[in-house]
Amino acid sequence: MLDKNKPGPGHSSEGRDLSGRTIVITGGAGFLGSHLCRHHLEAGARVLCVDNLSTGRLRNIEDLLEGHDFKFVKHDIIDPYEPGEAIDYIFNMACPASPPKYQLHPIRTFDTSVRGSHNLLELAMRRGARILQASTSEVYGDPAVSPQAEDYRGNVVTMGPRACYDEGKRAAETLFYEYNHLHKVDTRVARIFNTYGPAMDPEDGRVVSNFIVQALQGHDLTVYGDGTQTRSFCYVDDLVAGLMALMYTEGDLADPVNLGNPVEFTILELADLVLAETGSTSALKHLDLPKDDPKIRRPNIEHARDALGWEPHVPLIEGIRRTIPYFAAEIAQSAKAQV
């Protein structure tokens, strides 16, 4: 049974009726993928959640496992996947997204984006399914312009600790482009900017989860560099609404679409906000800036506004307020498990 109290949509799937449709969601046990699974079940769809559980957690979907319309398939998309039933849509969300996680197995990260996307594009072609790629703002690298629009070609490096992720995602976009042009596969590419919210792994090393968990535990908040670098943070419900709009809007939408919140904050502003909202007295601890860390990051979302009628609605302070109780519960749960 779908547990409405679990971290999940928190808002409706916008009245969309997807009954009779079967959706493959790769990376469905991860942060964004698990929200997508919930939204689709709410909309009446059948969901095939395909995940190798490398960074995802069964915990994110355990309340869904008994439902008739939900099937979990433990599978690595680097190997071809052949569902034993008809499918209509594929969301390719599989890939570790947090730098410490994707840098652990860089060649596997690259292969997940490239060979994984290739396998899924072949599947989409064989089955006549529409397919959406979770691409990323990292295709812009350390951008020399702000905000970043889709026609900005980026400032990226092929060699360096972030390249396995950034270049893998760029190559995946090329595959999506070619399958659309050569094979007429119905493709969509979402360039996702930093997103946060319930269902994030407290230990996966992203800035919002790090800060909230550190603040709640009374530890120093780790700020890389001087903290003046900027990010734009999108609340997960807004992002998922954007992904759904991109997948289910009819028309020629094969070109990449930025999805993110255009309001920009410095990392120091985020730290202050988290301290204020958690009531924590933690101090800030500055560490060296990781190599190739982007200094600015802000989406131009005009294309999404025009083509999809989509824009985010949840301000950072509101999203942080909705996210803190989730991490507090996660911390309490792991403390209980250790007793």
Ligand X SMILES: NC(=O)c1ccc[n+]([C@@H]2O[C@H](COP(=O)([O-])OP(=O)(O)OC[C@H]3O[C@@H](n4cnc5c(N)ncnc54)[C@H](O)[C@@H]3O)[C@@H](O)[C@H]2O)c1
Residues found near ligand X in the complex (CB under 6 A): 26-27, 29-33, 51-56, 76-78, 93-97, 112, 116, 134, 136, 192, 194-195
CB of 79 to ligand X, least distance (A): 8
Residue tagged active-site, from 165, 179, 196, 326? 165
For ligand X, the closer of residues 282 and 322 by Cβ is: 322
CB of 20 to ligand X, least distance (A): 26
CB of 169 to ligand X, least distance (A): 7
For ligand X, the closer of residues 227 and 260 by Cβ is: 260
For ligand X, the closer of residues 8 and 33 by Cβ is: 33
For ligand X, the closer of residues 76 and 238 by Cβ is: 76
CB of 328 to ligand X, least distance (A): 20
- In this structure, the chain runs to a length of 339
Distances (CA, A) of 238 to 13, 24, 129, 282: 11, 21, 25, 30
Residue 165 appears among annotated catalytic residues? yes
Give catalytic residue positions. Answer: 165
